[in-house]
């Protein structure tokens, strides 16, 4: 069984975390062993505590206020996670950009969720079911990504699950959840329809990773 650490922020409601907590018994062979946030008021911490999952709070602003470098913060965060022996780290709404300093502790074991349809490495865009190509929405998040989709006139919107590479770039895309854009859609309506598909894509990606690990261990 894969041990999973989840990183969240106070800007997200923690729905992806909840999807993992709800699905870990049946959807994938894994267990959320800790949840970390950069802010104490992150609602995901409430979700974690209700599920009896250990929580961690470490605010990078405190380090910056004391003149400590970001490398020191990332090392401290990694050490706190390591105490729970995670096999995977999932960035589920985490908004603080992590560098090689953090990623070297978990090489090729960090997954992230992007609010757009990212292309595979080496490609500029992702080909949609209707043959058109998606704007990947790099650098955008949440409602801004949905607004960009609507402004561009695209017919599909969605999210991508991808592997964070050691240099912090977008690595292999492990899954995508998408919906078609409907007449009268607003960023809020579109985001609300994308979220359930995002949850499905995340659980499916975790199921595939856990299955590969089990095969490698016992096959």
Active centre residues (catalytic): 114
Q: Are 133 and 126 in contact (CB under 8 A)?
A: yes
DSSP three-state, residue 133: strand
> What angle, 0 to 180 degrees and rounded to 10, lies between the N-to-C axes of helices 43-50 and 15-23?
20
Confidence (pLDDT) at 213:
56
pTM: 0.91
Q: Cα 210 to chain center, whole Å?
A: 16
Instruction: Encode burial over 35-58: b for 16+ CB neighbours within 10 A, e otherwise.
Output: bbbbbeebbbbebbeeeebebbeb
Q: How does residue 219 score in pLDDT terms, banded at 50, 70 and 90?
A: very low
In 3D space, the residue among 113, 94, 95, 208 whose CA is nearest the CA of residue 160 turns out to be 113
Q: Are 10 and 39 in contact (CB under 8 A)?
A: yes
pLDDT-above-70 percentage for the chain? 92
Question: What domains can you pick out in the chain, each with its CATH number?
Answer: 2-218 (3.40.50.170)
Q: Let me know the angle formed at the C-alpha of 88 by 110 and 119, rounded to the nearest 5 degrees.
A: 35
pLDDT in tens, 5-56: 999 987 778 899 999 999 887 888 899 999 999 999 999 999 999 999 999 9
| Number of Cβ atoms within 10 Å of the Cβ of 60 | 17
Q: How does residue 218 score in pLDDT terms, banded at 50, 70 and 90?
A: very low
pLDDT in tens, 108-125: 899 999 888 888 887 888
């Amino acid at each position: 069984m894969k041990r999973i650490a989840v990183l969240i922020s106070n800007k997200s409601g923690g729905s992806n975390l909840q999807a993992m907590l709800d699905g870990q018994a049946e959807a994938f062979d894994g267990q959320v062993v800790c949840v970390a946030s950069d802010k104490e008021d992150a609602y995901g911490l409430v979700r974690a505590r209700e599920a009896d999952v250990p929580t961690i709070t470490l605010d990078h602003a405190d380090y910056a206020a004391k003149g400590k470098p970001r490398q020191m913060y990332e090392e401290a965060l990694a050490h706190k996670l390591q105490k729970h022996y995670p096999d995977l780290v999932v960035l589920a709404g985490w908004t603080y950009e992590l560098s090689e300093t953090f990623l070297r502790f978990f090489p090729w074991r960090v997954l992230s969720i992007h609010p757009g349809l990212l292309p595979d490495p080496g490609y500029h865009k992702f080909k949609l079911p209707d043959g058109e190509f998606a704007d990947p929405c790099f650098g955008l998040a949440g409602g801004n990504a949905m607004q960009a989709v609507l402004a561009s006139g695209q017919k599909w919107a969605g999210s991508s699950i991808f592997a964070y590479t050691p240099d912090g770039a977008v690595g292999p895309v492990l899954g995508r959840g998408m919906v078609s854009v409907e007449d009268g859609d607003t960023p809020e309506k579109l985001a609300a329809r994308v979220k359930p598909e995002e949850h499905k894509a995340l659980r499916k990606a975790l199921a595939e990773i856990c299955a590969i690990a089990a095969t490698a261990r016992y096959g």
